[in-house]
Amino acid sequence: MITYWLITIFVVIIIWGTGFLALAIFKPLISEPKKLILAPLSWFTGLFVVAVFSYIVFFLSLFGLPYNYIYTIMLIFCFLLLFRIPIYNNIKTSKIDFSEFKIFNIKTDFHDLWVPVIALLCLLPYSVFTVNAVKPAWAWDAFMIWSFKAKLLFYNILDLSLLTNPSYSYAHLDYPLFVPLVESFAAQFIGVFDERFFQIIFSITFLNFCMMIFGVARTYIKGPFSAYVVLPFIAAPVMILNYVGAYVDCVIAAYHLIAVFYLYQFLQGEKVEYKYLIPAGIAMASLFMIKNEGSLINLTLFIISVITAVLFIKDYKKRVKYLIYMFLFALVFHLPWVIITKTLGITNRFISVDILNSTNWMEQLSEIPTIISFLFFENLFKIEFWGAIFFIYIVFVAVGIITREYFNTVFFVGAFILNISGVILTYVISPHDVVVHMTSSFDRVVLSLLPLVICY
């Protein structure tokens, strides 16, 4: 057991280190003053790199290459990347200013305020770690969709015939393989498929998500109040419960935050800073490869970014051009999976051409009042759904309008409206009972919308 845990730590280091090495190719990304963001950004970039290489090996395995070669290819990649990049110079020029971390030595009258907030910020990830370390994936989606596919990849038996087998339709065979590929990658090192170890991956992702949220807050708010601002989001039950349940929507929320933050940085800067499009593009590519809901988020962010640029930026054509390049870059990573699913006829149980063609639109549209009532009235303050998040967002919107922050309001509120409209449309055309569908999934929808509230 100890050996397994040591290997798990080794896998975590590989993922984190690979992400940092990949970011180090673009020197400005590791030499920025926002050091609190570098660690989580490296983790999520590492997951992306692992998923991309695993995808390559998976596609090659369809032609006979054993999937278990992935860990060898990854090690070779890391080794070559280390010698390819002038990494030591980058590290030298990007030393962390530990003055940012003077938690108990703040030269203000508020230094005592750091103590309770830091205790809470440490306690929340610790609680997630302790729960996930002793129990396997227990939520339906966790073990019947993601872990199930990861096992098939680990045992090298996930092939095209299984993807088209209707007996496995409960596993959402059309969903991309980002998370199962990362889980199976870890299993190749550990040598055994034990779901408790993969729960640790979700725990570390939660820790990095918290760090990312805190880093975003510290970009604009100084002192201990930056931590107090993010606590309601980090401690939200919808956040904790979904990370403990190992729902992939948690990973979507993290990449959504990265995409929103860096797209905003790109749009609001006086100069065209291309470096912001790199992490935004990686995040959007990851969203495409994680779950179908990521495609809705990406489309929403692209549309609202273009609208915001046209409305508020004089020389908008240049930025729009690079936004198109970034969106196409992200889409390229998703196209191979789209081609496979369309070629094999793997359909989505909730949205597909067949469903759209057979939909009784008038009858389905009559469900809209039920949906609106469920989302914004019946469950507005339920702790497992919105909690206080929607109320906080409304306050933000009101303040933004009163203070004439039109750029921010159009970007964040527009993205929120487009996203929730896409969710409502999904519920409208779903062949399932709309109330049952919403009850079983809306908490995860709230989680994926959380980054828009946090950044706004």
Average pLDDT over residues 115-120: 59
Q: What is the pLDDT of residue 137?
A: 67
Question: Which residue in 208, 195, 92, 186 sits closest to 136, CA to CA?
Answer: 195
Q: Which of 19-33, 351-365, 429-443 has the lowest mean pLDDT?
A: 351-365
The whole-number average pLDDT for the span 363-383 is 77
Tokens representing residue 145 in the block: 């969709």
- Asked if 283 contacts 259 with a C-beta cutoff of 8 angstroms, the reply is yes
pLDDT for 359 equals 58
The residue among 446 and 132 whose pLDDT is bigger is 446
Please count the CA atoms within 13 angstroms of the CA of 67 that sit on its side-chain side. 25
DSSP string, 257-325: HHHHHHHHHHHHSSS--GGGHHHHHHHHHHHHHH-HHHHHHHHHHHHHHHHHHHHH-TTHHHHHHHHHH
The pLDDT of residue 105 is above 50: no
CB contact at 8 A, 129 and 203: yes
Residue 114 pLDDT > 70, yes or no? no
**pLDDT for residue 119:** 61
Please name the residue that has the structure tokens 């593009």. Answer: 281
- pLDDT, average across residues 220-233: 76
pLDDT of residue 178: 92
What is the pLDDT at residue 117? 58
Q: What average pLDDT does range 248-267 have in this prediction?
A: 91
- Which range (39-53, 72-86, 315-329, 384-398) has the least confidence? 72-86
How large is the average pLDDT for residues 87-94?
42
Report, as an integer, the average pLDDT of 176-189: 86
Predicted confidence at residue 283, as pLDDT, reads: 95
- Of 21 and 116, the one with more pLDDT: 21
The answer to whether 151 touches 170, Cβ cutoff 8 Å, is: no
- State the helix-helix crossing angle for 114-134 and 195-220, rounded to 10 degrees: 160
- pLDDT for res 69: 61
125: tokens are 């990830």
pLDDT of residue 88: 39
Q: Which residue has the tokens 């190719």?
A: 25
For residue 26, give the 3-state DSSP assignment.
coil
Run of H or E including 82: helix 70-84
Of the candidates 16, 17, 41, the residue with the CA atom closest to the CA atom of residue 28: 41
* Residue at 309: amino acid letter: A
234's tokens: 């980090």
Distance of CA 298 to the CA centre of its chain: 11
pLDDT at res. 99 = 42
Whether the pLDDT of residue 123 is over 80: the answer is no
DSSP secondary structure string for all residues of 110-131: TGGGHHHHHHHHHHHHHHHHHH
> Taking all residues of the chain, what is their mean pLDDT, rounded to a whole number?
77
Distance CA 80, CA 28 (A): 21
Contact call for residues 32 and 211 (beta carbons, < 8 A): no
Residue 150: which of 205, 202, 204 has the closest Cα? 202
Q: What is the pLDDT of residue 48?
A: 94
What is the model's pTM?
A: 0.85
Higher pLDDT, 259 or 447: 259
| DSSP structural state of residue 67 | G
Q: For residue 243, what are its two tokens?
A: 């990370």
Farthest-apart Cα atoms in the chain, separation: 66
Question: Which of the two residues, 341 and 29, has the higher pLDDT score?
Answer: 341
pLDDT of residue 47: 93
- Which sign, positive or negative, has the C-alpha torsion 39, 41, 43, 49? negative
pLDDT over 90 (residue 302): yes
Task: Locate the DSSP E strands across 136-213.
Answer: none
369 contact partners, CB below 8 Å, separation of at least 6? none
pLDDT at 11: 83
Q: Is the pLDDT of residue 209 over 70?
A: yes
Radius of gyration of the chain (CA): 22
d(CA 32, CA 16): 18
pLDDT band at residue 80 under the 50/70/90 scheme: low
More confident residue, 127 or 222: 222
Nearest residue to 290 via CA among 353, 241, 333, 344: 333
Q: How large a percentage of the chain has pLDDT more than 70?
A: 76
Share of the chain above pLDDT 90, in %: 16
Q: How far apart are CA 118 and CA 86, in angstroms?
A: 36
| pLDDT band of 280, cuts 50, 70, 90 | very high
